[in-house]
Amino acid sequence: MAEKKFELTNLATGKKSLAEVKSGTLGPDVLSIGNLAKEHGMFTFDPGFMATASCESKITFIDGDNGVLLYRGYPIEQLAEKSNFLEVSYLLINGELPTTEQLAEFTHAIQYHTMINESLLRFFNGFQYNAHPMAMLSGVVASMAAFYHDSMDINNPRHREIFAHRIIAKIPTIAAAAYKHALGQPFMYPRNDLDYCANLLHMFFAVPCEQYNIDPVQAQALDLLFILHADHEQNASTSTVRLSGSTGTNPYAAISSGISALWGPAHGGANEAVLAMLEQIGTVENVPKFLAKAKDKNDNFKLMGFGHRVYKNFDPRATIIRAMAHKVLAKLGKSDNPLFELALKLEEIALKDEYFVERKLYPNVDFYSGIIYSAIGIPQSMFTVMFAIARTVGWVAHWQEMIADPTMKISRPRQLYTGPANRKYVEIEKR
């Protein structure tokens, strides 16, 4: 097969150069344009990175036009049906599904790293009771660099593995501590006899004065949500982790930067925004009025949870999570939940409306995830924290892949400068 190349021509000068085409396993080819600056003195311009591949990765593949999401080549539908979160975590980090022995070792490593240093736990006392949990999560995760700085050589594969186990194990403990701090309740220590999601529910909702019984359906729902949110290619927070990590910074600091990026309502905060939107709509009778507002370019109202930057026809995760939402609400006796009924009606009407159909504004994963979290008893302020717990696995996988790449370079995007040209300083008394 002949090597594929593009010939780029400066029409003003006639100068030409060749750009190599790189092909992946799946998806569009990419054009390597690294020689443009050297040969033509020019950069490319792509705001929002709409058509720019920032790296080469073997972890996750998305085909937005056909609604495909693959983790290491495995369809998300198969993993959601047959796997569990820790097995998926092993897959994302190591590249292959584990054997029984490998999964047992990995699970043990996670379960027995869940405790956090008592000094770290006291950090929470420095936060106001009403501090946003994402601010606490980001700050405390960043502070972990101070606890493990002397045992973290990013060029040592074993150190990278230990880091992966530690952060995946401890992030639920830190999240639960943030939740308990906001409530003013005693912190509940993790239990090594519980699986990942059951342990999270225990740390969130148990109190010392009485027995807490974990609902297996709730634990199953969390496990499914964590699988669906574990990774999503080069999204804003993952790209932030890679950008930060490319400097060689402590990986806990890199993960903290990802948490901060995830916080935004256009990214990880979207499911929180969906619930706020449903509460704003209020009743089924108000749906037509708010859909009309969503169509009005002069109205600030936005239909949250519909459409996706990547998926152009449907979000494969939304189909999976919708069924789980029904299951959770039925089990908890909340099948008549007004917000859930409102969500179903909004979905039904919007999917029949030509305006939304033409623009392919279908329900995405955030549309139902907030409903499930709410039914379990997790407050809206914690929704993005739950997302961060799941996405930590993807961040770790991408950070490890990048650090292990011998060709890694520090990320340094360029810009199109449109500010003032060179000008002389004017003394203050002359301005």
One DSSP character per residue, 98-109 reads: PPHHHHHHHHHH
Question: Domain of 24: which CATH number?
Answer: 2.20.28.60
Q: Is the pLDDT of residue 190 over 90?
A: yes
State the pLDDT at residue 333: 67
For 190, the token pair is: 């993790």
CA distance 308 to 360: 9
Q: What is the pLDDT of residue 363?
A: 79
Q: Residue 326 has what pLDDT? A: 81
Q: What pLDDT, on the 0 to 100 scale, is given for residue 208?
A: 93
- Answer yes or no: are the C-beta atoms of 217 and 192 closer than 8 Å: no
- Residue 68, Cβ density class (10 Å: 0-12 exposed, 13-18 middle, ≥19 buried): middle
Residue 371 banded pLDDT, cuts 50, 70, 90: confident
Residue 277 CB burial class (10 angstroms; 0-12, 13-18, ≥19): buried
Residue 167, in any domain of the structure: no
Question: Is 18 part of any domain?
Answer: yes
Residues marked as catalytic: 308, 366
Average pLDDT value for residue range 68-95: 96
Asked whether residue 415 carries a pLDDT value surpassing 80, the answer given is yes
Predicted confidence at residue 330, as pLDDT, reads: 81
- pLDDT at residue 1 greater than cutoff 50: no
Q: What pLDDT, on the 0 to 100 scale, is given for residue 265?
A: 78
* 339 in Cβ contact with 293 (< 8 Å): no
> Under 8 Å CB-to-CB from 317, ≥6 apart: which residues?
69, 76, 228, 364, 365
CA distance 148 to 144: 6
- pLDDT above 50 for 316: yes
Is residue 404, in this structure, part of any structural domain at all? no
The percent of residues in the chain predicted with pLDDT above 70, rounded, is 98
> Which domain, by its residues, includes 16?
6-53
Range of weakest confidence among 40-54, 81-95, 129-143: 40-54
Indicate whether 2 pLDDT > 70.
Answer: no
Alpha-carbon distance 71 to 212, whole Å?
35
- Domain annotation covers residue 21: yes
Of all residues in the chain, the percent with pLDDT exceeding 90 is 51
- For residues 309 and 307, give the distance between their C-alpha atoms in angstroms, rounded to a whole number: 7
Q: Which long-range contacts (CB under 8 A, 24 or more apart) does 161-168 make?
A: 163/251, 163/252, 163/396, 164/93, 164/396, 164/400, 165/106, 165/109, 165/110, 165/113, 166/113, 167/141, 167/251, 167/252, 167/255, 167/392, 167/396, 168/89, 168/110, 168/392, 168/393, 168/396
Number of domains present in the structure of the chain: 1
Region 280-290 average pLDDT: 87
Confidence at residue 151, expressed as pLDDT on a 0 to 100 scale: 67
Specify the pLDDT at position 42: 83
- In 83-188, alpha helices (H): 85-94, 100-111, 118-121, 133-147, 157-183
| Alpha carbons 120 and 107: distance in angstroms, whole number | 24
Model confidence at 335, pLDDT cuts 50, 70, 90, reads low
Question: 245 pLDDT exceeds 80?
Answer: yes
How many helices (H) and strands (E) in the chain? 18, 6
Over the chain, what is the mean pLDDT?
Answer: 89
CA 267 – CA 258 distance, rounded (Å): 11
pLDDT (average), residues 333-359: 78
Residue 401 pLDDT greater than 70, yes or no? yes
In a domain, 39, yes or no: yes
Mean local confidence (pLDDT), 186-195:
94
Does residue 22 carry a pLDDT above 50? yes
Please indicate whether residue 159 or residue 353 has the higher confidence score (pLDDT). Answer: 159
Quick check: 234 and 54 in contact, CB under 8 A?
yes
pLDDT, average across residues 4-14 = 86
In terms of DSSP bridges, do strands 16-22 and 68-71 run parallel, antiparallel, or are they unpaired?
Answer: unpaired
DSSP single-letter state for residue 363: B
pLDDT band, very low/low/confident/very high, at 347 (cuts 50, 70, 90)? confident
Kindly indicate the confidence band of residue 53, based on its pLDDT and cuts at 50, 70 and 90: confident
Mean pLDDT of 68-82: 94
Residue 42 lies in a domain: yes
Rg from Cα positions in the chain = 24
CA–CA distance, 346 with 288 (Å, rounded to integer): 9
In a domain, 13, yes or no: yes
**Which letter does DSSP use for residue 68 in this model?**
E
Q: Taking residues 38-64, report their average pLDDT.
A: 87
User: Which segments of 186-297 does DSSP mark as H helices, in order?
Assistant: 196-205, 216-229, 236-245, 251-262, 270-281, 287-295
- Would residue 179 count as lying in a domain? no
Among 102-106, 181-185, 322-326, the minimum mean pLDDT is found in 322-326
> 144 near 273, Cβ under 8 Å?
no
Question: End-to-end CA distance of the chain, in Å?
Answer: 66
For residues 221 and 200, the answer to whether their CB atoms sit within 8 Å is no
In the predicted model, is pLDDT for residue 166 greater than 50?
Answer: yes
Between CA 185 and CA 205 the distance in angstroms is 10
